[in-house]
Amino acid sequence: MQDQLFKKIDKLFPEMVEIRRYMHQHPELSFQEINTAQYIQSYYEKLGIEVRANVGGNGVVAKIHGGRPGKTVALRADFDALPIQDEKDVPYKSLVPGVMHACGHDGHTATLLVLAKVLYEARETLQGTYVMIHQHAEEYAPGGAISMIEDGCLEGVKVIFGTHLWATEPTGTIQYRIGPIMAAADRFEIAIQGKGGHGAQPHKTKDAIVAGAQMVSTLQQIVSRRVDPVDSAVVTVGSFVADNAFNVIADKAKLIGTVRTFNESTRDFIAAEIEKVVHGTCLATDCTYDYQYEKGYPAVVNHGAETEFLIDSATKVPEVTKIEESDLQMGGEDFAYYLQHVKGTFFFTGAKPETEGSYPHHHPKFDFDEKAMVIAAKTLCAAALNYQTKEQTKHEKSETLA
């Protein structure tokens, strides 16, 4: 059965590429993916697959019911793009100015759509139910996952699997990790209020830029001197904005940054430590401040048994040449919310282009090896099918013992 489905996936690779390239040419930003969602919905409707649109916003959920009893397995793909100008010189370059798929979400969508088609054609021979979760707004907090969950996308789901095409690793590689694999991603904003004045008379001012500069420097000591060295964390100030006249001392400055952590207590600790730094600096410089800390996605924490099961399933995919443990990734992913509700795992599928000079995710020239979509589809397929077999075996054993 599995080998037959793999052959069908191979046969439909040109369709997978066609879908991916169409989506790459017509990207839409987070929470604005109206046409993309309609495209996905229409694809399922033409096949006759049960589909529900507007799930938690722009999300789309399709269900494939097998002809034999079994569990409900969910597979997830995201479909939003980024506010980046596509600088690639390829026929499928984005047609939307300032917007592009720079993270592989177009490939995730094409992978899941074609896999759904393959599963649906074989539905009479399959066990259980397969829920295809097409999620909007992964790139922009609060993200689409949490609203889709609230709208019932995980109803009845026993396990969930998800993958990210990973263009920094060679095609044929599957990377996994038990426990935390991607970090919680938070945002902070500090508005400093001083007293402006002439650049030649600093003694009559309260310099917001000096206060901000001290904060940038001191904030770096939170991780290096206040967090346990074995507990990974990042504090980054990504924006420092103030008045820009050369001979004026600024009365206002604003710092915006991000915090990345894996441990929830460390996450709360750093949020509190940032305010201590801000409060102390403003006290010393006689400025006032407004501090806002916004929690984004929690850490992606994979479940042990399900990850081990994914590893075993990946060994059954002929094109997989390497299976290895992933390093901790400081990027965020709202797949984390699914794993807080049901068991499952999130893994990386290597998709590094064969051409020299490949570019990382979120780069204006980002691209990936499209053959990796076949590997992603087969790995997800193997995980879904083998999970049904595993659960059936457990059920039969329990009945025998009873």
The catalytic residues are 80, 138
Measure the CA–CA gap between 72 and 52, rounded to whole angstroms.
17
Question: Has 362 been labeled as part of a binding site?
Answer: yes
CB-based burial of residue 11 (10 Å sphere; 0-12 exposed, 13-18 middle, 19+ buried)?
exposed
Question: Has 101 been labeled as part of a binding site?
Answer: no
Question: Has 139 been labeled as part of a binding site?
Answer: yes
* Helix runs in 239-298, H state only: 264-285
Q: What share of the chain is helix, strand, coil (3-state, %, to 5)?
A: 40, 30, 30
Both tokens assigned to 270: 């750093």
Question: Has 134 been labeled as part of a binding site?
Answer: no
* Helix runs in 74-182, H state only: 105-121, 145-150
Measure the CA–CA gap between 255 and 215, rounded to whole angstroms.
9
Measure the CA–CA gap between 402 and 400, rounded to whole angstroms.
5
Under 8 Å between Cβ of 289 and 282: yes
Query: ∠318-320-321 over CA atoms, to 5°?
Result: 110
Give Cα 51 to chain centroid, integer Å.
23
CB-based burial of residue 122 (10 Å sphere; 0-12 exposed, 13-18 middle, 19+ buried)?
middle
Measure the CA–CA gap between 327 and 175, rounded to whole angstroms.
9
Both tokens assigned to 399: 């009945």
Measure the CA–CA gap between 26 and 95, rounded to whole angstroms.
6
Cis amide leading into 142 (omega within 30): yes
Question: Has 105 been labeled as part of a binding site?
Answer: yes
Measure the CA–CA gap between 346 and 142, rounded to whole angstroms.
19
Under 8 Å between Cβ of 387 and 71: yes
Measure the CA–CA gap between 198 and 347, rounded to whole angstroms.
56
Measure the CA–CA gap between 226 and 270, rounded to whole angstroms.
9
List the binding residues.
103, 105, 139, 164, 362
Query: Which residues are annotated binding-site positions for Mn(2+)?
Result: 103, 105, 139, 164, 362
